[in-house]
Structure 1
């Protein structure tokens, strides 16, 4: 019996070492050499090296002086009661959508509240859909160009700068679909807000 088991065990051990250890380590090393920024999480740092975030994970900007991203439905454990959760926007440790159906009263109320607030800040333009809907991951770092342009009057007023200049800044931050066909036109909110701070610092 051992004569029959030995080849199977040797094959299992060998394949485990090759496919479970050697191959992943080799691919990780190659990726780190060829794409170092992406392999480290597409981290964004200031000129002094201070880490400010990732190009792949959104952040919660609440100040009127900054562009805001999409709503995030991610949650975290409630510190007061571990059996419950509390809202924790862009919590990368708990990525996920809201899972609320279109007739759910909580979703309807939240969207109505968000719509009212957005219409108050810009009553002349239609509210882009992505400013009131969450993404499937809850971590989307991008908004549509229309969503960024919608926020221009609020940000310009809060900073006391020209709306035309701010629209030009947004236009300069628009990323086209990858290879011309993959994805949608988008604006990375963190990159846009960093460019806004740099422009105002001049």
Structure 2
């Protein structure tokens, strides 16, 4: 009986600590973060259209496409496919993505498609693509929107984020598509 009361007291203490005090502490700390811990959002006319750090699905021809997602862009189920580069299912999926990309971009050859346009990231939620991934889509997007390729290319070039010290340049797909919608 003595052990049961000790275990119950310990369980109650842990519930209070981990289910009440810890979440309140994290919530309090989040109030000092940008947007009070609610994430970095992008808004148009006061309406939130997306999160800057979470990839979203764009599959219409008049928008730039992001990286494929192994979790269908579900932020609650972040993760990769866990299939290695020699897995036959994975290779078939990559080939299907390449074939689809080439159908929509008939002016490209297979070797011109950057890897990030046909492979998912580890989280399945990468909001960025390579500048090359954005630039090869310029022709399609410009044609769909009846804009000049030079104008769309110039927009892409303004949205290239270059790292200050190390890393690779990226383009945030949501920011690019929001800017694209603002073009007249």
The verdict on how the C-alpha distance between 1:17 and 1:104 changes in structure 2, with shifts beyond 3 A counting, is closer
Select the residue among 137, 149, 161 that pairs with 1:151.
Answer: 137
What runs of 5+ residues in structure 2 fail to find an aligned partner? Answer: 1-8
2:88 matched residue in structure 1: 105
Rounded to whole Å, the distance in 1 between the matches of 2:162 and 2:112 is: 23
Rounded to whole Å, the distance in 2 between the matches of 1:149 and 1:46 is: 25
Aligned residues: CA RMSD: 2.7
Rounded to whole Å, the distance in 1 between the matches of 2:36 and 2:50 is: 13
Q: Does 1:195 align with 2:183?
A: no
Q: Does 1:60 align with 2:44?
A: no
SS at match of 1:196: helix
1:91 matched residue in structure 2: 74
C-alpha displacement at 1:116, in angstroms?
Answer: 2.2
1:68-83 superposed matches below 5 A: 68-74=65-71
What TM-score does the superposition give when structure 2 sets the normalisation length?
A: 0.81
2:47 matched residue in structure 1: 50
C-alpha displacement at 1:42, in angstroms?
Answer: 1.2
1:180 matched residue in structure 2: 165
State which drifts further: 50-59 or 190-199: 50-59
Q: Does 1:161 align with 2:135?
A: no
C-alpha displacement at 1:16, in angstroms?
Answer: 9.6
1:123 matched residue in structure 2: 108
Select the residue among 122, 129, 132 that pairs with 1:136.
Answer: 122
The verdict on how the C-alpha distance between 1:167 and 1:18 changes in structure 2, with shifts beyond 3 A counting, is same
Rounded to whole Å, the distance in 2 between the matches of 1:127 and 1:71 is: 13
The verdict on how the C-alpha distance between 1:38 and 1:99 changes in structure 2, with shifts beyond 3 A counting, is farther
Rounded to whole Å, the distance in 2 between the matches of 1:91 and 1:20 is: 25
SS at match of 2:112: coil
What runs of 5+ residues in structure 1 fail to find an aligned partner? Answer: 1-8, 75-88
Rounded to whole Å, the distance in 1 between the matches of 2:115 and 2:169 is: 14
Task: Tell me the alpha carbon deviations over residues 95-119 of structure 1, each in whole angstroms, 9 at most, x when there is no partner.
Answer: 1101112222221122112212323
Alignment: residue pair count:
175
